[in-house]
Structure 1
Amino acid sequence: MNTPRHHITLLAVAGTALALSLTACQSDTPAKSDSAATASATGKPAGGEHTGASGTNGSTAPERSTASKSSTDRTDSAGSTGSTGSTGEQASTTSRVCAAGDVSVTAATQGDAPYTHLVLTARNTSGRSCRLVGAPHIQFLESHKQDVPVVAKSKPGTPVVLTAGAPAYALVKLSDGGVDEDNEPVSAFSVMLEGDSEVIAVRAPGSGGIAVDPAKALTGYWTPELRNGADDF
């Protein structure tokens, strides 16, 4: 059977077109597969946008770790500074001077009757450190406006720095304890701190108060503790 030549030509063209179509389909399939593989590995779709969960976790976890380290560094730095600043030498130069509102002052007798000495206690109630300067300014009687004289040998060698709640002491002589002394009864007396004009009223110990000879009264400096020798007068 003889086929016309133009039919053969049409069949050849159709065959070529079909082959090209199949080739295009085969080449398109791997391309889509590669795109899907890329999206799965990077957490992004083929178009380049982040997926919800994978994109969020991937970008913020390193920042959270960095922030945590910075917080630790700040804590370590603050702790180091705090421990350095708490030394006694630095505290003595930077602490403010105690005022009347920073301390509570109480009095107690020392030794046995006849009571010739008092111990004043000044306790820091301010909640922060302060320096207790000098000696207490004491006046026992309205008729004697002069402060009780200070015993020089009782002066401490270093500043008296009171941390929160810490006490300091001052020994006070009332009399010689003699029956012929010119003593006067005192139920309360005034104390002022060095550098502060506010008067602190201190109640004398005992139900009957104390007996004071203004001519014999003496006071020591504020000290962290009473010391034998320096505070014996």
Structure 2
Amino acid sequence: MRTFRSRSTVLAATGAAVFALSLTACGGGGSDTKSAGADTPETTVSVGASHGTDANTDAAKTAGSSGSSGSSDATKASAPGGKQAASAAPVCTTKDVAISAARHGGPPSTHIVLTAKNTSGHSCRMTGFPEIQFLESHKQNVPAVAKSKPAAPVVLKAGAPAYALVKVSDGGVDESNEPVSAFSVTLQGGGGMAAVRAPGSGGIAVDPAKALTGYWTYELRNGADEF
């Protein structure tokens, strides 16, 4: 895949010590179900010229620019004290984010991209990977790909998105594919479950035996998200 696109100052007689205490605490939501993208037309998220189409260049640019900003946030989170500050941010819940799905690249359609946009007005943390169940007949969650796990916590500022790449099939005509028009996504850490509409008027074809998901990240990354 290609890149998708602190204050009180306390003065002592012998010196000064500054403690940065300005982390904003924000309350998480509950586990209410949020339906995402019910009235949104189909979108194709493309990363890189060799895998995408020109029809949704703006979507790709949005993913790219958000990813660049997110990468900066990730660097800050990995700095001394940064991870501690990041882990103090509340876990994003389905009341905090709007989750949608889009096709990734052109045919054969073997992958989709999940986007979780922070609509809460405060920062929150996306934990782990999306727990996805595509079909009622297959209750187990889609397995996660370990190499896609980011090095630093994914903390979303208000209005910022996180992405997760999801493989739905190998694109073969002889696969045991089943049509999926909507599916469930559960956010780890007590974030609750959301019903997500599959992209396209006819939904997507899913082979449960081949389905895989990546971790939530600020952007889709070369290498780590190739599965």
Counterpart selection for 1:177 from 163, 167, 171: 171
1:159 equivalent in alignment to 2:143:
no
For residues 197 and 179 of structure 2, the distance between their equivalents in structure 1, rounded to whole angstroms, comes to 12
Aligned to 2:64: none
Identity rate of aligned residues, in percent?
68
Note the residue ranges of structure 1 that are not aligned, 5 or more in a row.
1-73, 75-79
Counterpart selection for 2:200 from 195, 206, 223: 206
Could you tell me whether the CA contact under 8 Å between 1:135 and 1:193 is conserved in 2?
yes
Write the mapping of 1:1-233 to structure 2, written as runs, cut at 5 A.
85=23, 88=77, 89=82, 91-196=85-190, 198-233=192-227
Q: Which has the higher contact order (CA 8 A, sep 6+)?
A: 2
- Return the offset for 1:230: 0.3
- Return the offset for 1:99: 1.2
Could you tell me whether the CA contact under 8 Å between 2:97 and 2:120 is conserved in 1?
yes
Note the residue ranges of structure 2 that are not aligned, 5 or more in a row.
1-7, 9-17, 25-75
Moved over 6 A (4+): 80-84
TM-score, length-normalised on structure 2?
Answer: 0.64
Could you tell me whether the CA contact under 8 Å between 2:102 and 2:199 is conserved in 1?
yes
**Greater strand percent: which structure?**
2
Aligned to 1:71: none
Could you tell me whether the CA contact under 8 Å between 1:91 and 1:161 is conserved in 2?
no
For residues 164 and 82 of structure 1, the distance between their equivalents in structure 2, rounded to whole angstroms, comes to 21
For residues 98 and 205 of structure 1, the distance between their equivalents in structure 2, rounded to whole angstroms, comes to 23
Report how many aligned residue pairs link the two structures: 155
CA deviation digits over 1:140-193, x for unaligned, max 9? 000000000000000000000000010000000000000000000000000000
TM-score, length-normalised on structure 1?
Answer: 0.63
Seen in structure 2, the aligned counterparts of structure 1 residues 81 and 121 have a Cα distance that, compared at 3 Å, is farther
Aligned residue identity for 2:147: K
Q: Which has the larger radius of gyration?
A: 1
